[in-house]
Structure 1
């Protein structure tokens, strides 16, 4: 997968926003080369062969005791329910996955863990599986003292040999998790690979100590995942993470050795590849929302997060990548982040390179819009070459930008975004705290009707931004010699109801922000409405197209 603008091909629909519809999932019963097995908790019998609706199996135990083959399908009866863990055995092949789905009419088949299993749906060292159309819960009556998950796909020492060979990587492929309804998973408030989650895909190294070092003289095999798709799921009331990828094979120079994460000579960086997280809706998430950690070229698009960090006592963000390269986040909507212990919609975090946020909409997050959080240690934890462009923020709180103490952020670019702050809010537009990192702000519109103000950071640069509204800064406060305080004449700012309703942030005819921005390197091909970016005469703000005729303002 490549982060190119070729993925934007298609019609402009709705209110002018680009949209892409995922291909419809293959029918769970389309398995001409495999066997379809039926499972019915009420009318089934494990003594039968399971190969027709009339001879369906009854229990998860029967399914879990069976090793399935390429092209097989396991179909659960709609409206039925089961308690326990689903852990079928076997692997499919390229183009012939093993499918989990449903049959019949009615509500999705329901799998309930009741807090008595770590993960309700579980695969271990298996590949080429297509899992969909189930309802999954894992709520215990007592508070959790261990992880609880909805779905967990785990790899560990896959195809291990007689001795460790760090030059070899064993790759598990072809995992698709889609159209699940996952809710009420009350796991303990713990993050990362040993934490709780709605959906988790991870690779573990057994026996590691608190410094990330496994026992000596143990046989270990570098393991990873390729081609993981997580799409069109609904995840609600899950603690702690909504969707997460993780691997213990994580160490490289960008992360740093000797910092408590392990050592590159023992657990070298082995990222997941071709990870797509698309079209999911997450609500009331206890901690982090969507976190594709330790991936390369992951695509995170068209997801909605409405409420995160609602129960956690830790630091959490809506979407972010830790120790990964070139994640592309686009057309996502993130809102309802609680707390100012982070609580931001988005984050550039430790050990990442080339992460891009574009065409996203954030609003009403208590912690603000964007976190820039390097580790701050000289030997690792840096952030490199991040881009934040063509995004819209409406009524994010606290401060638009939060900065950790590290000074090792390099070549970070924030350009052609529009930030709106409503009357009555005290959101800080810029604040001076945090490390002396390198961030360039170009062609952004700050539409500030609140009481918050501006403070410069000496290591940041500012050029051709619009500072409209209250507390407009002088050049002695924000050294932007080409800045503007003129009204950018947005069409109808402050009234968006969702990512499909952002036309109010387009520039109208006569706007001084039209064709008055500074040229930036690699500006991106289009804005979020699909207008081509003008590489020679760019606009200021998130709208790259021509001026529109103003529509009647709401309110």
Structure 2
């Protein structure tokens, strides 16, 4: 570790009267003895770039359509900019340049304590995901003293063939190496393709894109503030079999962040080789505060074991004030959406999280009976998990023995939490619209939902009910508002046809099948969860319609 310094201290600010920062060119046909200041006098190798001292605000551009061998290694005092003087590394000419690992240990991008730097329009290729021992793009802040580095962007990169992580942003060398809460502020990862990595991961590594810091937010501050991951595709990151202490093969995983935003991303076919008992998931948070996942598609994600996870989206242990909204999950081995607290006193309690205006389609393909369209659970006892609300989602499943809403919690720790205004549309034989492992109260209150299944089957605690009347007699607070039944037991009359399948990233125009028809009982059939329970429904539905428009609708669509 190094002592933390303000990244602006000691960096001279350039006067407006000075000449523009130079542009350096790199071409395999060039020469490292040249000045690099024009295509005709280009440098030749990555070694020259790595050893050079680049003035703040300069550009270093690699010739497009050709390949450079080795790693791009960026260091303080040589390669970074200053406020208002971002240094850029990218491509010029036709197409993007490729940086090809020559050794299994070669990282594509190796940046130590980066700030005010953009890496864009490059292709990083490892030696193969099952032989490479390196990460594709590895960004580390190892400063002491809770130092936050800013001005870092990764734009339009294509990263593949690395054995560990695709893109990793860490405090220390990996997710559990941190000894301070130093990290990054406003980090941007935009337009990147991360694929076919993670096949040779080690403990606490092996994700498509990950941002993680100092573990244990019950006692420590967050490491990373306001990171953004946007417009990325993360796929075929299989994970690694045989790791005994951690999972591998997640698509996008963030931890120890506040104000994080993941949007317009697609994660698919990740995690197939994971053999750890939990994880991975397509897109998820743990130990994150006030962070959001939205406008994403997560599908066909897997896990090598059938007991848990392998799902689409997850708000996991230690998360507070996090939201998953306006997303589409389908055909995942695990649950479509999950809120879960693992047992660890060093993390914060699970509270104030929301899953709203999403679609789950045929999730739980690996083990339908033990997963769900939405799953919530906690492994803790003695610590409450309040205000974790799930509303206005549409859950469709045609698999046999599937669960719509699966409450998996022993003992139950949830309180002041609502499953409200959701469509639970099950067409498979033996499906359960609700499956709760606990009957203890306080628990989730189900309010204003529309349920449809071949034969009503609802498990609450040790009992299974075949009528809503019997369930509500046993638990009179369920589906009851002002003394009257609040639910609908009817086909939701979706526009259809469903299922929809792959749509190549979030696109509401491709999801119109999940709107309700004009005569649907779901139109104007919901409850006002704001006035009843103080739940902010958010500004819009999945399709961009303002919420509410008159009486609340049930499901992800709000009709006029």
Same fold (TM over 0.5): yes
* 1:468 partnered with 2:443: no
Aligned pair in 2 of structure 1 residues 50, 213: CA closer, same or farther (>3 Å)? Answer: closer
Look up the match of 1:542.
Answer: 556
Of 91, 105, 108, the match for 1:117: 105
Look up the match of 1:233.
Answer: 192
Look up the match of 1:33.
Answer: 20
Look up the match of 2:494.
Answer: 490
Query: Gapped runs of 5+ residues in structure 2?
Result: 1-17, 199-205, 239-248, 458-466, 473-477, 480-484, 530-534
Look up the match of 1:184.
Answer: 161
SS at match of 1:289: strand
Aligned pair in 2 of structure 1 residues 142, 544: CA closer, same or farther (>3 Å)? Answer: closer
* 1:65 partnered with 2:51: yes
Deviations 1:177-222 (A, max 9, x none): 011111122x2xxxxxxxx31111111289x9x8x796xxxxxx65
Q: Return the alpha-carbon distance in structure 2 between the equivalents of residues 122 and 306 of structure 1.
A: 26
Look up the match of 2:290.
Answer: 326
Q: Return the alpha-carbon distance in structure 2 between the equivalents of residues 46 and 242 of structure 1.
A: 34
Deviation of 1:375 after TM superposition, in Å, equals 2.2
Q: Return the alpha-carbon distance in structure 2 between the equivalents of residues 471 and 381 of structure 1.
A: 40
Q: Return the alpha-carbon distance in structure 1 between the equivalents of residues 389 and 24 of structure 2.
A: 53
Q: Return the alpha-carbon distance in structure 1 between the equivalents of residues 173 and 222 of structure 2.
A: 12
Deviation of 1:244 after TM superposition, in Å, equals 0.6
Deviation of 1:425 after TM superposition, in Å, equals 3.8
Q: Return the alpha-carbon distance in structure 2 between the equivalents of residues 102 and 304 of structure 1.
A: 25
Q: Which moved more, 1:382-391 or 1:285-294?
A: 285-294
Q: Return the alpha-carbon distance in structure 2 between the equivalents of residues 142 and 379 of structure 1.
A: 34
Q: Return the alpha-carbon distance in structure 2 between the equivalents of residues 143 and 39 of structure 1.
A: 29
Of 511, 522, 525, the match for 2:520: 511
* 1:307 partnered with 2:269: yes
* 1:131 partnered with 2:109: no
1:249-328 → structure 2 map (5 Å cutoff): 250-253=215-218, 264=219, 268-286=220-238, 287-314=249-276, 315-328=279-292
Look up the match of 1:91.
Answer: 80
Aligned pair in 2 of structure 1 residues 513, 380: CA closer, same or farther (>3 Å)? Answer: same
* 1:74 partnered with 2:60: yes
Q: Return the alpha-carbon distance in structure 2 between the equivalents of residues 114 and 308 of structure 1.
A: 26
Look up the match of 2:538.
Answer: 524
Query: Gapped runs of 5+ residues in structure 1?
Result: 1-30, 161-167, 188-195, 215-220, 254-263, 547-555
Of 392, 397, 403, the match for 1:416: 392
Instruction: Report 1 or 2 for greater relative contact order, CA contacts < 8 Å, sequence distance ≥ 6.
Output: 1
Q: Return the alpha-carbon distance in structure 2 between the equivalents of residues 354 and 434 of structure 1.
A: 20
* 1:428 partnered with 2:403: yes
Q: Return the alpha-carbon distance in structure 1 between the equivalents of residues 69 and 197 of structure 2.
A: 18
For the aligned residue pairs, the C-alpha RMSD in angstroms reads 2.4
1:340-379 → structure 2 map (5 Å cutoff): 340=306, 341-377=308-344
Aligned length: 470
Deviations 1:275-301 (A, max 9, x none): 110000111122111112111111110
Deviations 1:237-267 (A, max 9, x none): 111201111112x4332xxxxxxxxxx3xxx
**Contact 1:455/1:477 (CA < 8 Å) preserved in 2?**
no
Q: Return the alpha-carbon distance in structure 2 between the equivalents of residues 39 and 289 of structure 1.
A: 33
Q: Return the alpha-carbon distance in structure 2 between the equivalents of residues 141 and 200 of structure 1.
A: 15
Deviation of 1:430 after TM superposition, in Å, equals 3.6
Q: Return the alpha-carbon distance in structure 2 between the equivalents of residues 115 and 352 of structure 1.
A: 39
Q: Return the alpha-carbon distance in structure 2 between the equivalents of residues 229 and 153 of structure 1.
A: 12
Aligned pair in 2 of structure 1 residues 113, 70: CA closer, same or farther (>3 Å)? Answer: same
Q: Return the alpha-carbon distance in structure 1 between the equivalents of residues 157 and 129 of structure 2.
A: 23
Q: Return the alpha-carbon distance in structure 2 between the equivalents of residues 311 and 114 of structure 1.
A: 26
Look up the match of 2:413.
Answer: 437
Q: Return the alpha-carbon distance in structure 1 between the equivalents of residues 359 and 216 of structure 2.
A: 34
Q: Return the alpha-carbon distance in structure 1 between the equivalents of residues 40 and 447 of structure 2.
A: 71
Q: Which moved more, 1:455-464 or 1:441-450?
A: 455-464
SS at match of 2:47: helix
Deviation of 1:368 after TM superposition, in Å, equals 1.7
Aligned pair in 2 of structure 1 residues 47, 34: CA closer, same or farther (>3 Å)? Answer: same
Q: Return the alpha-carbon distance in structure 2 between the equivalents of residues 201 and 65 of structure 1.
A: 23
* 1:170 partnered with 2:147: yes
Q: Return the alpha-carbon distance in structure 1 between the equivalents of residues 407 and 526 of structure 2.
A: 25
Q: Return the alpha-carbon distance in structure 2 between the equivalents of residues 276 and 236 of structure 1.
A: 19
